[in-house]
Amino acid sequence: MRPTFLEVNLTQLERNIEAIRARVAPAKVMSMVKANAYGHGVDGVAPFIEPFVDYFGVAVVEEGIHLRELGIKKPILVAGGTLTEQLPLFAEFGLTLTGSSIALLSAAEDVSRISGRRIKTHLKFDTGMERIGLHEYEAEEFIEYSLRLKHIDVEGIYTHLANSELADRSYSLMQLERFQEILRVYETLSEPPPALKHMNNSGGILNLPEANFDMARAGILFYGVYPGDESPRDLEVKPALKWKSKVAYSKRTQPGRSVSYGSLWQAETETRIVTIPCGYADGYFRRMTNKAQVVIRGRKYPQVGRICMDQFMANVGDDAIETGDEALLMGDGISTADFAEWMGTNEYEVLTSISARVPRLFVNE
C-alpha cells in the first residue's frame, strides 16, 4: 500500500448514525454517500452501513448504479438533476427518481409503461434554493399531474434547506412554511399522501427539529463533521477519518537555502526539512502552502515551501525526525476545519477533494 492513505473508522460511522437516529426518531434516516461517501470511500462505507440506515442518497445516477453493483439492496434516491435519456437506468437498477418537472415525470411514465418496471419517484419542490424542483406556487398543477400517472410510484415528496447551518433560523423557517403549504395542497388532492416527506439535511437535524417529518438526510454529519461554525455541537458524532502518511526523506538544510518551487520559503537557521509523499494531486491543495501543519511523533510542525503535485515539505527544526516516521495530515489535532481555513473553503470541499489515488483503509473496532 502507498504510505499515504486514509484510515476510515467504520465503527465510528455506525455510532454517528445511531446518534442521528436517536435525535430524529421516529423519522427514518437517509445516509448521503455521494461524492465517494464524502471522500471516505463508498466501496467500504456503504456495504458496512447498510444495516443501520433506511435509505441511501446519491447525486448522480452512476453513483446509484455503483451502489447496486456493490450489492446494496436498500432504496437509493438520486437527488441530482436527471436527463430523460437516463431514465431507463432507473427502471433497470431500481433507483428512486427525483421528480422535478412535469416533462420528467411524463418521460418516466413512458419508460415505466414500456419497460414494465415501475419507477419510484420523490417529487422535488424548490422552497428557497433556486436549484432543482418546482416552486411552492406551482405545487397544485404539478401534484395533480403526478396523481394522474398510472405507471410510476410517487413514494415521497421533499425539499432542501439552503441555510440550515446558520444560527439565524429565519430563512429555514420560511422554507419550512413553504413546504408545509405544499404538503397541505398534496393532502387535499391525494388520499393517502406520500409516505415519505423529508426536508432536513445535516444542519436541519441540528437546528430545525420541527422539519424532521418522515425522514432526515444525514450528509456531512454522518461522517462526524458539523456543517459550519454556527451549528450546535450537542450531538455525539465524531470524525471517522484520519489522513496519514510517512516521512519519505529527512535532511539538514543550511541557512538561506530555499525550499520548493518559486522559492517561497527560506531557512533562517540550520534546520531539518522532511518530505511527505502527498501533494495537490491527492487533495492536499497547493493553496495551503506555508499555512498547513502536520503532526509527527505527537508534535505539530509547519508545512514550508510550495506544495508540489505529489509531495510537500515540513520544517521540524532540531527534532530527530527520520525517514519512515508516521505523519498525521488530518485527525487527532488537525481537523477538517483547519484544512478549510488553510484552503479558504468549507469542510465539504476538503473531504470530497481527497483524490481517488489515496488508498482507503477501513477499520472496524
300 is catalytic: no
* 158 is an active site residue: no
Residue type, 48: F
Helix (H, G, I), strand (E, B) or coil at 43: helix
Hey, which bits of the chain come out as E strands? Answer: 5-9, 28-32, 55-58, 76-78, 96-99, 120-126, 134-135, 153-158, 196-198, 215-218, 241-246, 249-253, 258-259, 265-266, 271-276, 293-296, 299-304, 312-317, 326-330, 360-363
**Residue 273's Cα: distance from chain center in Å?**
35
Among 28, 34, 124, 242, the one annotated catalytic: 34
The type of residue at 265 is: W
- How far, in Å, CA of 263 to CA of 246, rounded? 24
Active-site pick, 238, 249, 261, 300: 261
74, 204, 259, 364 from 48: Cα distances, Å: 12, 25, 43, 10
Report, as residue numbers or ranges, the catalytic residues.
Answer: 34, 261
